[in-house]
Every structure is written in structure tokens, then in C-alpha cells.
Structure 1
Amino acid sequence: MKMSRRTRGIAATLAMGLVAAACGGGGDSGSGAKAGDAPGDEGPPVSGGRVIYALEAETNAGWCLAESQLAISGIQVAKTIYDTLVQPDESGKMLPMLAESVEPNATFDSWTIKIREGVKFHDGTKLDAEVVKNNLDAYRGKYDGRSPLLFVFVLQNIKAVDVTDPMTVTITTKTPWPALPSFLYSSGRLGMSAQAQLDSKDNCDKDLIGTGPFKLKEWKLNDHFTAVKNPDYWQKDADGTQLPYLDEIEYRPVPDTDSRVEGVQTGQFDMIHTNGGEAVSQLQPLADSGTINMIANSDAAEVTYLMANEAKAPFDNLDARKAVAYGINREEFKKLRAAGLQDVASGPFAPGNLGYLEDTGFPEFDVAKAKEHAAAYKKATGKDLSFTMSYAADASTKISAELLQSQLADSGIEMKLTSTDQAALIDRAIGGDFELAYFRNHPGGDPDNQYVWWHSSSPVNFGKINDPQVDKALDDGRVESDEAKRAGIYEGMNERFADQVHNIWLVWSLWTVSSQPNVHGVFGPDVDGEKPFTGLASGHPVTGLWVDGGGA
């Protein structure tokens, strides 16, 4: 059963994963196949076999989902073990998954969720309304024993979650909330855990029990995460074949992009997940020669940007933010660091997303204006404009950071650099322990999903934006059900971001999944009769992955 047309028309993909700070951007597809398509005629899927899949980072804190801080690699692994109540189709509209239906009342402040019959967790326990309620309460900080960080605020607009009958849950919200289905997906982060995992005092992050297509076999930190087929998985493909097709999938954290590219080229890895035009430029010749399969697209693109901490000097000063914005040559950055394959970003909302504007009025490269605003900053504070930018310790990102440093030096702006690993950079952001940070975040979907990142009341408003106009737009956009009016609200907010230079946008992301020629089914089977979602910015399903020969 599908959602009502009204609900599907309003809900869109949430791509909310906690920031993945790395070299990235977005724009045009650079794939050997059509953007978003699987390469060639893959033929009928076969069952059996295994793949080794290299990801950009380890998930140090584990997968106690309510409490986890999952960047993209963690989300990818979570999609292997857990299912969500809803999932996106090709257009990003939310369709039921573990839910059989998700229906709002006329005012969008009460939602009825019917739970799918016959679904079991990996430990054999039943998925029912009670465990769904407990999961939702755990995410929003209302379940004893679980202490969430991010989702307490993300889901604070939920007033109550009630079990209506053994297979029905009703969510009551504090305000009308047309985008709620997007939050029930949360880029695949809002998976349903078994009661035993929810109640595990010491091992919730390690003893993973979902309803997903694979079950945890072994996790060795910083080495590998191995999952084996769930033989009792509830989904079958259109031909009635039991899913998933693979017998086993092994993830390996490989932070260095070049090492991932080399690994898929040599056959060390069956699959890799990479970001950015530079990686595509390395992989494209391999795809053209038939050495690998490659899918690259900017669907539901994130944005790579410089995030200023507006709660401390120098970026509590608008002239400082404008000086940096005018001092960066983004076209040069696109050419030298994105291989010309990623579009310069005008704001956080990429083309095709509600709120997108081709021209937001964001400052264009102008050395004279950069010097003018740097001088205004010095006049107001008595100090030269000088600060430190934090970035994730990756060789490619280091080169990008050094290019930006050189560009700003041409305007007389001193930018020092400091690097750390991805997890530590996220921790710094949470603690406000930075001046400027090189970030990648805000993937496409309903703009209401950005409320948590920008509203002044949010604990994960990393940039410490405190702008009444932004707050009003976020509040108004959340409750508005008319799509045309919502578009106007978020377009206006986009222009406000540019005017106040709340972030310094660089490029939109370009994500790539590359694999050996015998690996197929990256996007998985159809979703409730609809084509599956093609965005790669928050991982992809593994239910439909298969290899030539299978277990033969």
C-alpha cells in the first residue's frame, strides 16, 4: 500500500546524515554511464557471493542508532543492518517500508502509521507498534536508558507517540508538520532496532539487531565490518526471489581517496564509495576501458562549504565573513580541485531542490572588495583579519585547503590551517571549538530538514547562526503545506544566507560508486512498484547487490 497522493506530494527525501567533513562538492554528473543509471544491461540477478566495499571512514561510536553520530559511511553500514519506516522512490517521495501506510490528518498534526505484518528482527522477535513506539521515543529522548544527542532536537516537534492497536502507532505533533515522513527516514539513520538492543545497557552500539537484509557477523574497529545474509528477510524481488541476493558484505574503512581508487583498480576492493570531481577524473578512464563499473551523480547533492563560527571572533563580524567570501575564487577552485565536474554552489539547495535559486546574490570573487571588507574589519576591531581553518586529515582535502589559503593571501587575509580526523572534526563542531571549518553537509530533500542545522535554538547549529529572519523562515516553512508558498519561503531564506554570508559556499557534491564489472544492482529493486532513489550522498541500499555467478 502506498502513501496517499497528498502525503507523497509533500514529503521528500531527508538526507540528514551528520556532517561528513571531507573534500567534496556537487554539480554535473561525470559518470561513464548515464547519471543515476546502472551501467549497461546487467541481466537477471543471481543469488550468492560476497563483496568487499571500501568506505571513506570508520564509525568509531558504533550503531546504537538513537545515540550515534553517523556520517555517510556509518549510514551506509546502517542501511545494511536496519530498515526504516519509510524509504524514498526515484523522485525522493517517501513510500512505506516497515510501515504499511503513513497517513496524516487534514491539518498535518496527527499521523497514523500502520506497521507491516510479518516482519521479524534478527533475534526472531516481532516488529510491532510497541517496539516502533519505543524506538521513536528513544530517538526523541523519551525512553529510559537511551540518551540521544542529535535527534532530541530533530524530533522535538513530536508531542506524543501512542500505540493505537498492536500494529498501529499515532504520532501527534506540536505544530502542523507536512514533512514528517522525511524525518522518519532521515537518510536511513532512523532505523528500527530490536527491543533487546534498545535495552542493552553496555552494548547497544555493538550488539546490532535490526530487521535489515544482513546481520552483523563481526566488527573489528578500523579494519572491517562483516555482515551475512538474513535468511528470514521480509522482502522479495518482483520475481519472488528472496532478498538480499548476496551471502555476505564486508566494509573496510579507507580514509584516503587515492587508496580506494587504487584498490578498485587492482581488484583489492569489489566496490568503493568516493566523493568529488577529482575522484571521478581518476575513475573515468577505468570506466571507459571497461575495467570498472561507475555510477556518478549529484542527485540530492550536498554542498561543500566553509562554515564560520559566528559566536566568536573574527566571524562574529559580517565584514570578516564578506572578506573571505570575496577573496575566494570559486571558479578556480572548481577547475583545480573538482576537475571542472562540480558546479559552483549558489547556496545550500542544489538544482532540483525546493529553495534553489540560480542567483542568490552571494559575493563573487573580487580582490578589491575582499580587501575593502578586511579593512573595515580592522577599523572596527583594531586587528588584521587572521584565523584558523580546520579540515579533515586527507591528502586531497589538504590540497584544497592550501589552495583556499593561497587565494585569501592574495587579498592580504591570513588563514592558518589545522587538520584532524573526521570524527574529531565533528566533535569540534559540536563543541564550537573552531573558527572556520571545511565542511560537507545539507544534502537535498525537504528544506525543513535543515531546521536542525540553522535554527538559533538548535544545539547542533554548528555555525552558531543567530538570525531572526532565518529562524522565521524555518518556522514558517515547517508548518506551511502549500508547496508554492514553501518554495518562496526557502528561496527568501537562501537569499538571506547570501546577504549575511552565514556560510561560504564552494561546490555541490558529486558522489560515485565504482565496482568490479561483475558487481550489479547498486540502487536495488523497485520501491513499492516505483523506481528506486538514485542519490548517493547518504549511501544506497544493499538489498539488490549481486555478483555474476553468485554462489556458484
Structure 2
Amino acid sequence: MTTRRTGRLRRTGIAVAITVGATAVPLAANSSLSAATKPVKGGTLVVATKDAPVGFCLNQTNSNASEISVHQAQETLFEQRVDGKTVPYLAESASAIASLDTGTVDYRTWRVKIRPNIKFSDGTPLNADNVILNITAWRGRVAGVTGAGDLAVIANGNWTGARKVDDLTVDITFDLPIGDIGESLYGSGRQRIRSTAWLSQKVADQGSAKGCKNWFDGTGPFMMESINTDKTEIVLVRNPNYWRKDANGVQLPYLDKVIIKVVSEGVQRVNGLKTGDYDVAWFTAEVDTTQYKTLSRMAKNKKMKLVQSKPEYFPQIFLNTSEKLVTGAANPFSSLDCRKAVIQLFDRASYVKARGNGVLKANDTVLGSVTPGYTKAGMFTFDKTAGNASLDKCLTAIGKTTLEFSAPHDTNLDSQKNMEFIATMMATNSNNRIKLNLRAIPTNTIILQYFGNAHAFQPFQVLEGPGMSFNQLFLKGNISSSPRAAATFKALGQPLNLLSVSKHKFTDLDLLYEKALANPKPANAAKDFQAAMKIWQENALSIPTWSLFYFMAGGKQVNGMGELQLLKGGQAKKASNWGIKMTNIWLSK
């Protein structure tokens, strides 16, 4: 046991044509460990994050901040390196092979080899049968696990199935070609593998103590020990079956326990780090810029440790193009002129200067330069004269004298201040002809409302770099142009545009995305991604704000943050939008 600074005890048969991936290699969590920095086993890490999860069933949607707990227990077939490339993790390799129906390598069939000798926390093996069950569940074909309206079912709408080759090999099939399966199997870290028992639970049991609404499992370094009623405290303990060791052969993880607490305000998380109540805390530069400055100064003076993601997340204000909202109310942003007006009257430089606090940089296009979809083509810029001319046309089109709409924002104070600034800016730049009605709504509720066509003006962070596979889920009008997909989802009662935040109907944009995603050559794919983004931008479908990063801070006693190695694949991302894995974290005595 160690002691906190406060004196309180610490809580404690088919031809393979093209292969991507890696062969089995020795495991290494820390690439270089000298005797002086030899990790100490044991101890309890207390982590503060912003949001509580709604639940853990596949048809429940959580915010980024609330995902930190499941990432300690669940892992993905592919992981993302610090340079953005996806590499095999639970998988050993992936190869494009000839499809049965065409006899050619058309990138519609991929053979995935699973890394051997991996077990779930319940002791059962990770094998082909389990991976097939996971894929079947992602596709919404496991009774009770998923249901109508499930976002994951639409996200995996291009997957057509999986078949067993042997105990550690699976062939995964797609409707439309996929040039890089790694991004699809990573899925921004959300294509996590669950145990067979967890995926086989009955609907009646989902609300029980060990049901999916309250419990999760996986192959990861930790497993659940307890969770309180409102999910604001989750206790994880070491998984005795974990499959990884460090470079010196020491079994991972180093920690005995991780306690994750929900602390909604960033300033409270910083104060808790200072007092020693928390060892590590999650932050987003979207609302925690003041906290970032404070923690950066402390890190410079060696009073705190700080790791951050790259600024490769791109928050937008998505403009819903539906003629009517789910309430039946008319939507002014079905008019291109109304959409152009709010974009042209959005003074991004002033917004970033005032609310970015000298920490964030403006993003003048929808996607940042780290993505292959980056282009300035078709992008409207701040121009009061042009904006008011567009507003004149907008008001004529909708028969109003004022462009008025609701402006939802998260319940924390900084989110409210961000939206208040936008409301004042829009009113000023439009001569009081644009009025935003602010509405505070919890993050997890807002997410479902956006996909449910509840709002016209939608501040939302779902776009990221450097890949495009995850982005296309939200940028396309329909998840697939395939007749098979249309028939399949009609039978399931699932709308093809469920994940489309803008609800647009630009099929030429969708087809360009599908063409780009099918191309195994990144340079060629980039041209089509950029052509698609030109269509998005010239139709004024969203307002870019800034390039965003996420960061994690830890006390001086915390070691290993941002240093996790992905086997032979290289170093993991220093931080993601959900946080960091605690696999290699250890505490100084």
C-alpha cells in the first residue's frame, strides 16, 4: 500500500493475394525498461472522467469520456498506432482473398488470422467462433443483443457475414469493397470484442447485475469488480487471464485495481489531481482549455504529468437538411441559403480566439490536413456582406423576418459559454436577424437526438483523422448505395440514413466515398475523398470550428502514460478521445 499526499491510504482453400499485418512476435508493453525505471507491481489507480456511461449493450450509445472504463477490459482486432496507421492486435494478420461469387480478389472478402493463446476474463478462448459471433452481433443478427435503431447495426451495414476457416481463422465478407480492413476492424476503437457468454445473454437478463446494461467483459488487462447504481463509479481489477507480458517477461497489467469516477467539471478534476484524490484525469480541449494551461504549467515544473492526442479531431456544427424535424416543425436549414448564411456569418477566428483560450487552432475546412479528405474546395468563409445577402434569401424562402432555431449544448459550464458566444456573434453579425435558443442537454442524450433528427443546428464531435473509414459513417447521406443493403435494412426496420447527422441526399457524394473506400491505394483514394468533401462544403452542410485534442493528466507517482507499445506494430496513440489504456501504467512507491 502507498500513501496519498493527504495522508489518506490509497485505494488501493482460397488463394491469398494481398496481405496486410504482422506475424506473431514477442510481446512488449514498454519498449525499454532499465533497472532504474523498473515498474512496480500493485496499487490502485483512481481515474476521474467527465461522463457516466448509459450502459454497455451494443444498442446503447455512450460519449467519448464515458468509454474509458470499457477500453480497459475490451480490445480490438486492430489497433491504431501513434502515426495513425491501424495494425493487427488481437488479430495476427489480415489478407484480401478471392471472393466466392467472383473468383477474384475484389476486396469484398478478407481472411483474418486470430492471435493464439488469448482468453477472456471468464477463461474462455478467443477463437474463430467467438469472432464470428461478435461480427454477427455487430450486424444486428444476435437476438436481444441489438435492436431497431441500433447505431452499430447501421455502422456495420456493409458487412455481409463471416465464415470459419479453422479455429483461429475467419473470412469476413462485405457487400461493397473495402480497400483497408484495418480501419473497419478498429472502428475508432469501438469494434471491441466481447465474450461468447456476454453476447449470448437473454433479453430478460440485460438489466440484471451482470447484464449488458450494467456489466462488460473482454480480453483486456482489467475486468469489472463493481459498479454503482448511477454508473458514476466503476471498479476494475486485474484480469488473471491477460495475455500480454512486458519486455522483461513481467505479466501485465502492473496495477491491481483501477477505480473510475465521474466528475463532470474540469476544474474539479484538476483540483482532485492537486489534492491527490485522483491519480489520473481525462480532459477535452473543447471545454478544458483553462485546465490545459494549468496542467501544462504544472507539468513544466514537474509537478504533474501530461499526455495528449494529436489535434486530429474536428468538431462541427452540423446543419440538418431535413424539411421537417422529428417533432414535425419546419427546418430552416433545408434551405441552402439559410445554411450558407450561418456559415458566412460565423467568425471562426473570433470564436477560436475567445473560446480557444490560445490553446486551440481554427480549422478552416471540414476535415483537417492530416486526412486524405482535406480540401478547401467549395468552402464558404466568413463574410458579413455575403452572409447577410444569403440571409435575405433565406428569410424570403422560409417566410420569416428572423432565422430562429434551438442550439443544444452539453450541461457543463464551458459548453454553455461556447454556445452563448456563438449566439451573440450570430446576432451581432446578422443585425439581430439570427436568434439561437440555447438548450442544455446531457451529452449521451444529445447524441441520440442528433441521429434522431431532433435538431437543426448540431454541435457534434464525430469526425477525426487520419483515416476516413469512421468519418464516412456520418458524412454519407445513406450508409450504402447497394440494393442489397436497402432491402436488408428495410426488413430490419432500420433507416439507411440513421447515422447521417446532416440527413443530406447527395448521392454523388456517397458514391465518391464508396469508390474511395474501395481503393487499396491511398493516393488514388484521396482524390475521390476530396471530391466528396468539395460537394459537402459547397452545399454548406456543416460549420468547422477548430482542430481538437484530448489529454490525460496524472500525478508524479503515475508512470507509463503515453508509452504503450502495440507488439511489433509500434507505439500506441499517446491519448485518444476516450483516454488511455492502463495496461502499462504503474505507481511509484
Q: TM-score, normalised by structure 2?
A: 0.83
Query: Counterpart amino acid of 2:459?
Result: Y
Taking the TM superposition and a 5 Å limit, the aligned residue runs for 1:98-247 are: 98-105=90-97, 106-148=105-147, 149-201=150-202, 202=205, 203-220=211-228, 221-247=230-256
How far apart in 2 are the matches of 1:372 and 1:49? 63
How far apart in 2 are the matches of 1:512 and 1:234? 28
Higher deviation after alignment, 273-282 or 241-250: 273-282
List per-residue Cα deviations over 1:268-323 (Å, max 9, x = no partner).
21111111134322322222232211123425x21122122211321001111111
Alpha-carbon distance change, 73 to 480 in structure 1, aligned in 2, over 3 angstroms:
same
Shift, 1:510, TM fit: 1.9
How far apart in 1 are the matches of 2:36 and 2:420? 42
2:93 and 2:113 in contact (8 A); partners too:
yes
List per-residue Cα deviations over 1:166-190 (Å, max 9, x = no partner).
2211112222211322121122222
List per-residue Cα deviations over 1:332-359 (Å, max 9, x = no partner).
11111111222211333223222223x3
Higher deviation after alignment, 187-196 or 281-290: 281-290
How far apart in 2 are the matches of 1:479 and 1:506? 30
Taking the TM superposition and a 5 Å limit, the aligned residue runs for 1:371-386 are: 371-383=388-400, 384-386=402-404
Equivalent in 367, 376, 385 of residue 368 of structure 1:
385
* Equivalent in the alignment of 2:67: 75
1:91 and 1:533 in contact (8 A); partners too:
yes
Shift, 1:462, TM fit: 2.1
* Equivalent in the alignment of 1:26: none
How far apart in 2 are the matches of 1:190 and 1:75? 12
SS in 2 for 1:95: strand
How far apart in 1 are the matches of 2:526 and 2:72? 34
How far apart in 2 are the matches of 1:351 and 1:310? 26
Alpha-carbon distance change, 535 to 291 in structure 1, aligned in 2, over 3 angstroms:
closer
Alpha-carbon distance change, 286 to 361 in structure 1, aligned in 2, over 3 angstroms:
farther
SS in 2 for 1:303: coil
List per-residue Cα deviations over 1:424-468 (Å, max 9, x = no partner).
111211221112122222121321322221222231112212212
Alpha-carbon distance change, 449 to 42 in structure 1, aligned in 2, over 3 angstroms:
farther
| 1:507 aligns to 2:507 (yes or no) | no
1:95 and 1:528 in contact (8 A); partners too:
no
1:271 and 1:515 in contact (8 A); partners too:
yes
2:318 and 2:542 in contact (8 A); partners too:
yes
How far apart in 1 are the matches of 2:159 and 2:522? 22
Taking the TM superposition and a 5 Å limit, the aligned residue runs for 1:441-480 are: 441-457=462-478, 458-480=497-519
How far apart in 1 are the matches of 2:515 and 2:93? 27
* Equivalent in the alignment of 1:310: 321
List per-residue Cα deviations over 1:504-523 (Å, max 9, x = no partner).
11111121111101112123
Shift, 1:4, TM fit: 10
Query: Counterpart amino acid of 1:160?
Result: G
How far apart in 2 are the matches of 1:292 and 1:227? 24
2:345 and 2:426 in contact (8 A); partners too:
yes
| 1:54 aligns to 2:48 (yes or no) | yes
How far apart in 1 are the matches of 2:292 and 2:124? 44
* Equivalent in the alignment of 1:7: 20
Identity %: 24
| 1:394 aligns to 2:412 (yes or no) | yes
List per-residue Cα deviations over 1:195-238 (Å, max 9, x = no partner).
11111122123232211100101111243111001122100111
Query: Counterpart amino acid of 1:187?
Result: S
Shift, 1:535, TM fit: 4.2
1:50 and 1:248 in contact (8 A); partners too:
yes
2:185 and 2:191 in contact (8 A); partners too:
yes
SS in 2 for 1:162: strand
How far apart in 1 are the matches of 2:511 and 2:364? 21
2:281 and 2:552 in contact (8 A); partners too:
yes
Query: Counterpart amino acid of 2:74?
Result: Y
1:42 and 1:520 in contact (8 A); partners too:
no
Taking the TM superposition and a 5 Å limit, the aligned residue runs for 1:406-445 are: 406-410=424-428, 411=430, 412=432, 413-445=434-466
**Higher-RCO chain (CA-CA 8 Å, sequence separation at least 6):** 1
Runs of 4+ in 1 over 4 A off after TM superposition: 3-6
Shift, 1:469, TM fit: 2.8
RMSD: 2.2
How far apart in 2 are the matches of 1:176 and 1:222? 40
Higher deviation after alignment, 531-540 or 242-251: 531-540
Shift, 1:162, TM fit: 0.6
* Equivalent in the alignment of 2:328: none
Alpha-carbon distance change, 77 to 489 in structure 1, aligned in 2, over 3 angstroms:
same
1:237 and 1:525 in contact (8 A); partners too:
no
Query: Counterpart amino acid of 1:377?
Result: C
| 1:343 aligns to 2:350 (yes or no) | no
Shift, 1:381, TM fit: 2.3
Query: Counterpart amino acid of 1:448?
Result: S
Query: Counterpart amino acid of 2:318?
Result: M
How far apart in 1 are the matches of 2:44 and 2:345? 49
* Equivalent in the alignment of 1:18: none
How far apart in 2 are the matches of 1:215 and 1:208? 8
1:114 and 1:169 in contact (8 A); partners too:
yes
1:524 and 1:542 in contact (8 A); partners too:
no
Equivalent in 296, 299, 319 of residue 287 of structure 1:
299
* Equivalent in the alignment of 1:33: none
Query: Counterpart amino acid of 2:342?
Result: V
| 1:266 aligns to 2:266 (yes or no) | no
How far apart in 1 are the matches of 2:21 and 2:389? 49
| 1:525 aligns to 2:564 (yes or no) | yes
How far apart in 2 are the matches of 1:279 and 1:200? 42
How far apart in 2 are the matches of 1:347 and 1:466? 21
2:73 and 2:219 in contact (8 A); partners too:
yes
How far apart in 2 are the matches of 1:297 and 1:81? 21
Query: Counterpart amino acid of 1:84?
Result: T
SS in 1 for 2:62: coil
* Equivalent in the alignment of 2:262: 253
Shift, 1:73, TM fit: 2.3
How far apart in 1 are the matches of 2:21 and 2:216? 31
Alpha-carbon distance change, 192 to 433 in structure 1, aligned in 2, over 3 angstroms:
same
SS in 1 for 2:307: strand
| 1:327 aligns to 2:336 (yes or no) | no
* Structure 1, unaligned runs of 5 or more: 10-37
SS in 1 for 2:282: strand
Larger Rg: 2
Query: Counterpart amino acid of 1:392?
Result: D
1:278 and 1:338 in contact (8 A); partners too:
no
